[in-house]
Amino acid sequence: MMKAVQVTGYGDVDQLQVVDLLPPSPKQDEVLVRVKACGINNTEIWMREGAYGTDEESGWRPEGVQFPRIPGSDITGEVVEVGSGMDDSMIGRRVVLFPFTSSGQDGEEHIADDMSFIGSEYDGGYAEYVAWPAALCYDMPLDSFVDSAAFSVSGLTAWHMNEQIDIQPGQTIVVTGASGGVGSLNVQIAANVHGANVYAIVGDLKEADKLKALGASRVFSYRSETLADEILEANGGPVDAVLDVVGDALFKTSFEILKNGGKFCISGSAGGQTTHLDFRTLYLKHITMYGSVLGTREEFKAMLDAIAAGRIKPVIDRTFPLVEARAAQTYFKQKGKFGKIVLLP
The torsion angle over the Cα atoms of residues 44, 130, 304 and 342, rounded to 10 degrees, is 50
Is residue 285 in a domain?
yes
Q: What is the pLDDT along the chain (345 residues), one digit of tens a residue?
A: 999 999 999 899 999 999 999 999 999 999 999 999 999 998 898 888 887 655 555 555 556 688 999 999 999 999 999 998 788 999 999 999 999 999 999 999 999 999 999 999 999 999 999 999 999 999 999 999 999 999 999 999 999 999 999 999 999 999 999 998 899 999 999 999 999 999 999 998 999 999 999 999 999 999 999 999 999 999 999 999 999 999 989 999 999 999 999 999 999 887 888 899 999 999 999 999 999 989 999 999 999 999 999 999 999 999 999 999 999 999 998 887 888 999 999
Closest CA to 88 of 134, 55, 121: 134
The answer on 191 and 178 residing in a single domain is: yes
* CA–CA dist 177, 185 (Å, integer): 10
Tell me if 308 is assigned to some domain: no
Domain of residue 190 covers: 155-291
> Are 163 and 211 part of one and the same domain?
yes
Nearest Cα neighbor of 266 from 281, 278, 249 is 249
Q: Is residue 245 in some structural domain?
A: yes
Helices (H), the chain: 42-49, 145-148, 152-165, 181-188, 208-214, 227-235, 248-257, 279-284, 297-308, 325-332
| Same domain assignment for residues 103 and 209 | no
Specify whether 126 is located in the same domain as 230.
no
Asked whether residue 50 falls in the same domain as residue 146, the answer is yes
CATH number at residue 159: 3.40.50.720
Please check whether residue 299 lies inside any domain of the structure.
Answer: no
Residue 25 CB burial class (10 angstroms; 0-12, 13-18, ≥19): exposed
277/321 same-domain check = no
pTM above 0.75, yes or no: yes
Q: Do residue 95 and residue 78 come from a single domain?
A: yes
Domain count, the chain: 2
For residue 161, tell me if it sits in a domain: yes
